[in-house]
Amino acid sequence: MPSMALNITQYCRFLLFSIMVSAVFPPCPAINVETEALLHFKNKLKDPLHVLDSWKESDSPCKYYGVTCDPVSGNVTGISLIGKSLSGEISPSISRLQSLQNLSLPQNAISGELPEEISRCSNLKVLNLTHNKMVGVIPDLSGLKDLESLILSFNTFSGQFPSWIGNLTGLLYLGLAGNNFDEGELPDSIGNLKNLNYLYLPKSNLIGQIPESLFELQALKVLDMSRNKISGTIPNSISKLKNIHQIELFDNKLTGELPPGIAHLSLLEEIDISSNHMHGTLPKEIGNINLTVFECHQNNFSGEIPAVFGDMHHLKGFSIYQNRFSGQFPANLGRFSPLEIFDISENRFSGEFPRFLCAGRKLTLLLALENNFTGRFPDTYAECKSLLRLRINKNHFSGEVADGLWSLPHVNLIDLGDNDFTGGISANIGSSTNLSQLVLQNNRLSSNLPSDLGKLTNLGKLLLNNNNFSGSLPAEIGALKKLLSLHLEQNSITGSIPAELGNCVMLVDLNLAGNDFSGIIPPTVSLMPSLNSLNLSGNKLTGPIPNNLKNLKLSSIDLSDNQLSGNVPHELLTIGGDEAFIGNGGLCIDQSTKIQRNSTLLNVCKEDWGRKRVFRDKSVFFIFIAVVLFIVLAGLVLLSYKNFKRIKADMENSIEGGNRVSPKCELACFHNMDIEAEEICDLEEQNLIGRGSSGRVYRLDLTKKGIVVAVKQLWKGEGLKAMAAEMEILGKIRHRNILKLYACLTKGGSSYLVFEYMENGNVFQALRRVKRDGKPELNWHQRYKIALGAAKGISYLHHDCCPPTIHRDIKSSNILLDKDFEPKIADFGVAKIAERSLRGSEWSCFAGTYGYIAPEFVYTLKITRKSDVYSFGVVLLELVTGKAAIGEEYGEGNDLVHWILTHFNHHENVLKVLDDKIVTETVTVRDDMVKVLKIGILCTAKLPNSRPSMREVVKMLVDAKPAIPISSDDQSNQD
Ligand SMILES: *[C@@H]1O[C@H](CO)[C@@H](O)[C@H](O)[C@H]1NC(C)=O
Ligand SMILES: *[C@@H]1O[C@H](CO)[C@@H](O)[C@H](O)[C@H]1NC(C)=O
Ligand SMILES: *[C@@H]1O[C@H](CO)[C@@H](O)[C@H](O)[C@H]1NC(C)=O
């Protein structure tokens, strides 16, 4: 009993204590459950910034950082941790927080699936997980009847677009943008969300039409379904969205016209329907709305812009570029508006240019390029101090430019190119210190270049070519430390090239051709370490070529048609070819160089006596060395006389083959294999296997030999030239990765080349073939082998074969595959010897194949080894992505390289460019592919000098060898 009594007293004491405690603190049991739930939640998260350190078992959750409680009950009602670098996963324990109303964890790196238990948090009003890395299917949340904000944008949720969304009738705010949903339509039930204010669904893989029910959403203020593949028209019933403020439907596949019903949306401020396939004229009723932003660029709209746009009082943004609008532009646009952005480029507007765009003093972008505007460019813009970019190129503007336009304080781009402007550049240009591009090319501008140009220290591009500028080039130009590109060609500039030019250390591209420059080429030109292209042709320059010019890593040089004299440095000859130096009576080359290069355009220098004496002093020594060498050689010859004889015979053979390019040649064999002419001319149409740029290709069974060859019948005319090129190069080359040319033959005006036969066609075709099981024929291992083999072949051409050769048309369809998928470089019809080129010949016009052409070709028209590297880079990108070099999906003027670059900003996106047909579950294949992707990107660098050489490419590819060489998949491919 005593113990019992004791227990009772203890119990009473405890009870008393409890009552005292609960008088001070809110009830305990609930807190314990919630504390436990929160600590579980914390444990599942990684918290590098230690923001959850205050979450301790000993403390009340109401004191936890980011946690809010009901002030009366003490129940947890909210967790809000925004942008705290949290990763890890969301614990299902969250469902035990029965009073939770707000779970906001946006802008973290939380991954894993959204636990379905969250649907038990029946009081939840706000679920905001935007910008995380969550995956899987979004669980059915339709039970959360109180949910007002569901914001799961910018995660990687997958599966179908949630079909239960229509049950959440209390929603005010819905955001599911930027996830990986399957392609699908927006469910009709969206029309049930009668309270919805904000519908945010860009990049949600939506297809089909906008459901009619959506226009029942009377409360909707913001509708954003941009960047989907929505098709169909915008119906007139859009007029039912009485409360709409903002409509974003850009980047879809909408067709039809803009319905006049739009004018009933009296609260509408912003509308963007750009990048669709819409047409027709703009309804003039649109003037009834107080628009702030109107964008419809990149559609097929036509007709005039309704003049009512000129009456708008709130318009800030107006962008309608790339349509077919025409006629006069509304003269009053901007007169009563705070216009900031204005882009009407690439339309067909004519007549006078509107004068009031900057009346609100807010205009920053004025873009009207490629229209038919005429007359003077209005003087009003001289007062437009807010202007950042002014581009009105490719119009027919004439007359002088208002003085003030040259001295806008903030402007960073002025492009008046391709017009008929006259007059000069104002001396006040020095006030436009933010200018980074001044583009005035192809006008009739004249007079001197102001020395204040030197104050434009942010200038990167100065394009003044094809005008009537005269006077001298001011030495102040040397102050332009950021200048990348200087084009002054085709003007009448006189005087000497200022030595200060060498201070422009960033200069990549310098063109002073076609002026009246005199004096010497200042040796300081060689101080510009980035210089890539140098053109001083067609001037009156005298003196020698500065010897240190050869230290520059130029890819193009032209000094022709001057009055230069002295020796042409061998290195520069290699870059520019003879034609870069012709038209200079005094320039000459060594006798040995002349022979070696087979040069016909340049004279041999007269003996340099000084050098000869030095030579003579050393000559005794040389004779001694020569005698020793002779004895050693003679010994060797005696030892292996037979062997030597055979090699010599081989050499003679191949030289003979190489030279026999005359059409008279009947049959020349390059490999040890006798083929009979009759057999080859027996080509039957049914054996036609392809058509190339230079001829038809047939498969031919040589029955007597028991082998199969490919015979290319060249087109007449062009054929002979191509044949000469292919023979000259291929006849001498023996390399595992270069297509073997067995023989050539001419008969009755037709020319035939006999090659080894390639069972598996070319890489372009192979990338598109699938096996019976639907998988691509080429798995990653094989693609890697192709990449490496082809790289070795090209590297051999560039660096190891004699003479070094540039292929000039590397592309996936010129890389053939034998029966083991070993790649061989083919089609040398346009290839050329690296060190030789002919001025104005058909070769320099040849540009390669669109999609594979290196960007520098646009300005240098010269092809170097680095252009092959670029083209090969494109092939690598094809292998990695499985996509074609060009295609409609990349948009106008863009190609695979551009497409890749736009995806290369985020790691996530990088993975998206890989060919999803061969990215298997294993991470290693993916990583291996990324390695080759990176090499492809290096090879397609914009500047030739930043591209690796093919030798380096081979090394890098060897390092990128797949981790698991042969997979089971591979085996099945081999049989
Ligand atoms: C607090 O939570 C408890 C247990 O979940 C619940 O019974 C109670 O109703 C809640 N109080 C309030 C005010 O929500
Ligand atoms: C959701 O989070 C984002 C990012 O912090 C924020 O901008 C947005 O306003 C939040 N939305 C709601 C409804 O809480
Ligand atoms: C969702 O709505 C559909 C029809 O509107 C209804 O049949 C279903 O029971 C609802 N689901 C929930 C969980 O309320």
> Are 368 and 393 spatial neighbours (Cβ–Cβ below 8 Å)?
no
Nearest to 872 by CA among 958, 800, 793, 803: 793
Does residue 671 register a pLDDT over 60?
no
Does residue 256 register a pLDDT over 60?
yes
Residue 667: CATH number of its domain: 3.30.200.20
- Ligand 3 within 6 A of CB of 143: yes
> Are 180 and 204 spatial neighbours (Cβ–Cβ below 8 Å)?
no
Confidence of residue 754 (pLDDT cuts 50, 70, 90): confident
For residue 73, the ligand closest to its alpha carbon is 1
Nearest to 357 by CA among 483, 373, 348: 373
Nearest to 510 by CA among 530, 481, 540: 530
| Each residue's pLDDT tens digit, 786-809 | 999 999 999 988 888 767 788 888
Whether residue 803 is preceded by a cis peptide bond, meaning omega within 30 degrees of 0, is: yes
Question: Which phi-psi region, left, alpha or beta, contains residue 464 (left: φ > 0; alpha: ψ -120 to 50)?
Answer: alpha
Inside any domain, residue 923? yes
Say yes or no: 532 and 547 in one domain. Answer: yes
Confidence of residue 644 (pLDDT cuts 50, 70, 90): very low
The residue nearest atom 9 of ligand 2, judged by CA position, is: 128
Say yes or no: 737 and 866 in one domain. Answer: no
> Are 884 and 811 spatial neighbours (Cβ–Cβ below 8 Å)?
no
Q: How far is residue 17's CA from residue 39's CA, in Å, rounded to a whole number?
A: 27
Centre a 10 Å sphere on the Cβ of residue 259 and count the other Cβ atoms it contains: 18
Inside any domain, residue 149? no
Residues 6+ apart with CB under 8 A from 537: 513, 514, 558, 559, 560, 561, 562, 580, 583
pLDDT of residue 835: 42
Say yes or no: 879 and 953 in one domain. Answer: yes
Q: How far is CA 389 from CA 408, 438, 943, in A?
A: 10, 11, 26
Please identify which residue in the block is written with the tokens 């030289």. Answer: 655
Does residue 22 register a pLDDT over 90?
no
Answer with the residue of higher pLDDT: 561 or 9.
561
What tokens appear for 971 in the block?
Answer: 């085996």
pLDDT of residue 808: 84
Q: How far is CA 949 from CA 405, 812, 861, 935, 953, in A?
A: 46, 19, 20, 11, 6
Ligand 2 probe mutation, 101, 104, 127, 174, most atoms within 8 A of CB: 104
Inside any domain, residue 887? yes
Confidence of residue 886 (pLDDT cuts 50, 70, 90): confident
pLDDT of residue 892: 65
Ligand 3 centroid from CA 193, angstroms: 13
Residues 6+ apart with CB under 8 A from 644: 636, 637
Q: How far is residue 869's CA from residue 882's CA, in Å, rounded to a whole number?
A: 19
Residues 6+ apart with CB under 8 A from 765: 813
The residue nearest atom 14 of ligand 1, judged by CA position, is: 99
Centre a 10 Å sphere on the Cβ of residue 853 and count the other Cβ atoms it contains: 20
Q: Tell me whether strands 246-248 and 229-230 are parallel, antiparallel or unpaired.
A: unpaired
Q: How far is residue 411's CA from residue 390's CA, in Å, rounded to a whole number?
A: 8
Inside any domain, residue 501? yes
Inside any domain, residue 511? yes
pLDDT of residue 255: 97
What tokens appear for 169 in the block?
Answer: 């009738």
Does residue 831 register a pLDDT over 70?
no
Q: How far is residue 249's CA from residue 227's CA, in Å, rounded to a whole number?
A: 7
Does residue 5 register a pLDDT over 50?
no
Answer with the residue of higher pLDDT: 572 or 644.
572
Confidence of residue 645 (pLDDT cuts 50, 70, 90): very low
Instruction: Look up 827 and say whether it is catalytic.
Output: no
Backbone angles phi, psi at 410, to 5 degrees: -110, -10
Say yes or no: 865 and 934 in one domain. Answer: yes
Mean pLDDT of 644-670: 39
Q: Tell me whether strands 348-351 and 372-375 are parallel, antiparallel or unpaired.
A: parallel
Give the 3-state secondary structure percentages of the chain, helix then strand then coil, rounded to 5.
Answer: 35, 20, 50
> Are 779 and 963 spatial neighbours (Cβ–Cβ below 8 Å)?
no
- Residue ending a domain, among 756, 778, 795, is 756
Q: Tell me whether strands 603-604 and 667-669 are parallel, antiparallel or unpaired.
A: unpaired
Q: How far is CA 463 from CA 249, 413, 416, 417, 542, in A?
A: 38, 12, 10, 9, 25
pLDDT of residue 855: 76
Weakest-pLDDT range from 28-32, 181-185, 288-292: 28-32
pLDDT of residue 803: 73
pLDDT of residue 799: 85
What tokens appear for 338 in the block?
Answer: 């705070």
Mean pLDDT of 436-465: 94
Q: How far is residue 937's CA from residue 876's CA, in Å, rounded to a whole number?
A: 9
Say yes or no: 748 and 805 in one domain. Answer: no
- % residues pLDDT > 70 (the chain): 80
SS3 assignment for 635-662: HHHHHCHHHHHHHHHHHHHHHHHHHCCC
Candidates 251, 561, 809, 928; catalytic one: 809
Beta bridge partners of 691: 696
Residue 512: CATH number of its domain: 3.80.10.10
Crossing angle for the helix pair 923-939 and 865-881, nearest 10 degrees? 150
Say yes or no: 490 and 601 in one domain. Answer: yes
- % residues pLDDT > 90 (the chain): 57
**DSSP structural state of residue 546:** P
What tokens appear for 907 in the block?
Answer: 């790691």
Does residue 535 register a pLDDT over 70?
yes
Backbone angles phi, psi at 124, to 5 degrees: -60, 130
Say yes or no: 774 and 729 in one domain. Answer: no
Beta bridge partners of 302: 324
Say yes or no: 750 and 776 in one domain. Answer: no
Ligand 3 centroid from CA 167, angstroms: 6
What tokens appear for 81 in the block?
Answer: 């941790």
Confidence of residue 29 (pLDDT cuts 50, 70, 90): very low
Nearest to 856 by CA among 950, 941, 798, 951: 941
What tokens appear for 583 in the block?
Answer: 């038209």
For residue 154, the ligand closest to its alpha carbon is 2
594 is in an annotated binding site: no
The residue nearest atom 11 of ligand 1, judged by CA position, is: 73
Say yes or no: 836 and 957 in one domain. Answer: yes
Please identify which residue in the block is written with the tokens 């504390």. Answer: 35
pTM of the model: 0.63
Mean pLDDT of 24-41: 71
Centre a 10 Å sphere on the Cβ of residue 387 and count the other Cβ atoms it contains: 25
Residues 6+ apart with CB under 8 A from 220: 196, 197, 198, 199, 241, 243, 244
> Are 149 and 127 spatial neighbours (Cβ–Cβ below 8 Å)?
yes
> Are 697 and 688 spatial neighbours (Cβ–Cβ below 8 Å)?
yes
Q: How far is residue 592's CA from residue 572's CA, in Å, rounded to a whole number?
A: 16
- Residue ending a domain, among 554, 581, 609, is 609
Say yes or no: 730 and 820 in one domain. Answer: no
- Ligand 2 within 6 A of CB of 173: yes
- Ligand 2 within 6 A of CB of 126: yes
pLDDT of residue 650: 36
User: Which helix (H) or strand (E) covers residue 104, if one does?
Assistant: strand 102-104
> Are 721 and 693 spatial neighbours (Cβ–Cβ below 8 Å)?
no
Q: How far is residue 148's CA from residue 135's CA, in Å, rounded to a whole number?
A: 23
The residue nearest atom 1 of ligand 1, judged by CA position, is: 75
Ligand 3 probe mutation, 122, 146, 167, 213, most atoms within 8 A of CB: 167
Q: Is 625 exposed, middle or buried (0-12, 13-18, 19+ CB in 10 A)?
A: exposed
What dihedral do alpha carbons 306, 309, 310, 314 form, nearest 10°?
Answer: 180
Weakest-pLDDT range from 56-65, 490-499, 614-623: 614-623
pLDDT of residue 613: 42
Does residue 662 register a pLDDT over 50?
no
Does residue 438 register a pLDDT over 80?
yes
Q: Is 841 exposed, middle or buried (0-12, 13-18, 19+ CB in 10 A)?
A: exposed
Mean pLDDT of 279-301: 93
Say yes or no: 729 and 708 in one domain. Answer: yes
Q: Which amino acid is at 490?
A: Q
Say yes or no: 591 and 671 in one domain. Answer: no
Does residue 248 register a pLDDT over 50?
yes
Q: Which amino acid is at 13?
A: R
Inside any domain, residue 216? no
What's the domain count of the chain?
Answer: 3
Inside any domain, residue 223? no
Does residue 651 register a pLDDT over 50?
no
Q: How far is residue 75's CA from residue 70's CA, in Å, rounded to a whole number?
A: 5
The residue nearest atom 5 of ligand 3, judged by CA position, is: 167
For residue 26, the ligand closest to its alpha carbon is 1
Top-confidence range, 70-74, 125-129, 906-910: 125-129
| Each residue's pLDDT tens digit, 735-747 | 888 888 777 776 6
| Each residue's pLDDT tens digit, 762-776 | 899 899 888 877 788
Does residue 687 register a pLDDT over 90?
no
Centre a 10 Å sphere on the Cβ of residue 498 and count the other Cβ atoms it contains: 18
Does residue 574 register a pLDDT over 70?
yes
Q: How far is residue 463's CA from residue 438's CA, in Å, rounded to a whole number?
A: 6
- DSSP per-residue codes, 391-403: E--SSEEEEPPPG
Inside any domain, residue 773? yes
Q: How far is residue 302's CA from residue 393's CA, in Å, rounded to a whole number?
A: 21
Q: Which domain holds residue 529?
A: 445-609
Backbone angles phi, psi at 74, to 5 degrees: 75, 5
Q: Which amino acid is at 699?
A: R
- Residue ending a domain, among 609, 630, 647, is 609
Does residue 656 register a pLDDT over 80?
no
pLDDT of residue 16: 37
Which residues, judged by CB distance below 6 Å to any ligand atom, belong to the binding site of ligand 1?
A: 30, 70, 73, 75, 98-99
- Ligand 3 within 6 A of CB of 80: no
* CB environment 22-55: b (16+ within 10 A), e (fewer): eeeebeeeebebbbebbbebbebbebeeeebeeb
Ligand 2 centroid from CA 174, angstroms: 11
Does residue 638 register a pLDDT over 50?
no
